[in-house]
Amino acid sequence: MIKKKKVIHWFRQDLRLSDNPSLCAAVQSGEVLPIYILDDVNCGEHKMGEASRWWLHGSLKELNKSLKNGLELYTGNPEDVLDELVKKYHIEELHWNRCYEPWRIKRDKEIKNNFEKEGLKVKTFNGSLLWEPWEVLKNDGTPYKVFTPFYKRGCLSAPAPRTPLPSPNLESLISDPSNSVELEDMKLIPDVPWYEGMESLWEPGEEGSEDKLERFMNQGLLNYKEGRNFPSKKNVSQLSPHLHFGEVSPNQVWYRAQFEESVSGIKESLHHFLSELGWREFSYSLLYHFPDLPEKNLQKRFDKFPWIKNKNFLDSWKKGLTGYPIVDAGMRELWQTGYMHNRVRMVVGSFLVKNLLLHWHEGESWFWDCLIDADLASNSASWQWIAGCGADAAPYFRIFNPITQGVKFDSEGEYTKKYLPELQDIPNKYLFNPWEAPKEVLEKANIILGQDYPFPIIDIRESREKALDAFATTKLKQIES
């Protein structure tokens, strides 16, 4: 009888069985020990936020069910955990799907080099991106800094993404009951049950991602290009947390979407949706080629931008108490659901960095802790974009007006009133500018400004002028330097 190799598949941001290149290769090589290691050792300041940890708990629980309780869990430094397992079970191969955060790249290179020196085979795969960051480059070999040419010239001219793989046969699994920990012992669930409202809204795990994908394809993809701008409509996929944790692969989403191409009137929306997957690829490309993206402005002229510090402004923004209803609705949606509609993300982001003149780091940090889809590449690239200091950034003079944004994209107030029930009875004419409502209108709506709902913390017109003056200094700094 031929003795089978013993192989570790290390789950990371690929918490699924289908279309998992590393897992498929491991199963073909021999008996597999499937593991997950919670690494709070090497991540530095990028330790997973509270909302993400809640999601991870649910995702690992579902993955373990799919593996018929065969998933082994660990905490600590992965190299130490792996070293012990390799020796204990005489492991001959170590498999994983690549991650692209700078701290993970550094860690993984060290682990790979150290084990290969000891004669262990280490095999890594792409299970998270449509194209590798080093594959999509300009003709001169440098990375793209503008999205449209990155996507159209780079991605769409590159070889097509690989087609999804089926789930492997998982009959030959190795277990490690003596050293692994129970899911509850990983303490991913916070002591304060602030997440209870999220449990009815989200279904972490591979099965939940399949349901979400099918629902979007059937109900949201048609009219996606326009409908995605309206937060009360169902034209958003909400796949971002599933993609971040790898419960579904971008390849599965890419090819599943293209099955819809024959639907009448869908072509424009389909191409726009695929380009949004391209934006995710662009964010990862930026993070890979500019690893200090989470900390440093890509456009150096912003290094001396006159950001201010104002704790009251920041606290009001975080709590959804700025006095601007579309901003406050977005921030309360974030707190209550762990998610925020993309159009509203742009509005609240613009308000923070351009109207309040608070550093984009403040927004990035709050989103990191509160978002279930917190993703280092997307979060960093998007905050730099809205601040005007990143690649292909929104121009500094593009300042979203929260009043006109509310009127344009939530004219009936369905979204805003859902998260600001105190404004339920105010006429839509004054919903996004309640401070301008006549006294009798406010009385009829049972609203006392400053008590039931705050006055605006800044004047929108004055703050816009201050922002333009501040951004103008970046031009002067550039000239002086």
- Catalytic residue positions, numbered: 276, 279, 307, 342, 360, 383
How far is 443 from 396, CA to CA, in rounded Å? 40
Torsion of CA 278, 284, 287, 288, to 10 degrees: -120
Q: How many CA atoms lie within 13 A of 61 on its CB side?
A: 15
Strands (E) in 108-248, as ranges, are 121-125
- The answer to whether residues 284 and 129 touch, using CB atoms and an 8 Å cutoff, is yes
Q: Which residue, among 375, 349, 372, 374, has the nearest Cα to 362 in the 3D structure? A: 349
Beta bridge partners of 181: 73
391 Cβ neighbours under 8 A, 6+ residues apart: 145, 146, 147, 282, 286, 298, 381, 384, 385
- The answer to whether residues 287 and 376 touch, using CB atoms and an 8 Å cutoff, is yes
- The answer to whether residues 467 and 355 touch, using CB atoms and an 8 Å cutoff, is yes
How far is 272 from 309, CA to CA, in rounded Å? 38
- Tokens 């003079």 locate to 397
How far is 71 from 55, CA to CA, in rounded Å? 17
CA distance to 156, 167, 224, 290, 382, per residue, from 149 (Å): 10, 35, 22, 18, 18
Per DSSP, the residues of 351-383 read IIIIIS-B-HHHHHHHHHHH-TT--HHHHHHHH
Q: In what order do the strands lie in the sheet with 93-97?
A: 72-75, 30-38, 5-11, 93-97, 121-125
Q: Give the 3-state secondary structure of residue 219.
A: helix
Are β-strands 30-38 and 72-75 bridged in parallel, bridged antiparallel, or unpaired? Answer: parallel
How far is 70 from 88, CA to CA, in rounded Å? 18
Name the packing angle between helices 325-337 and 402-409 (round to 10°): 70
CA distance to 92, 215, 275, 284, per residue, from 152 (Å): 42, 28, 9, 16
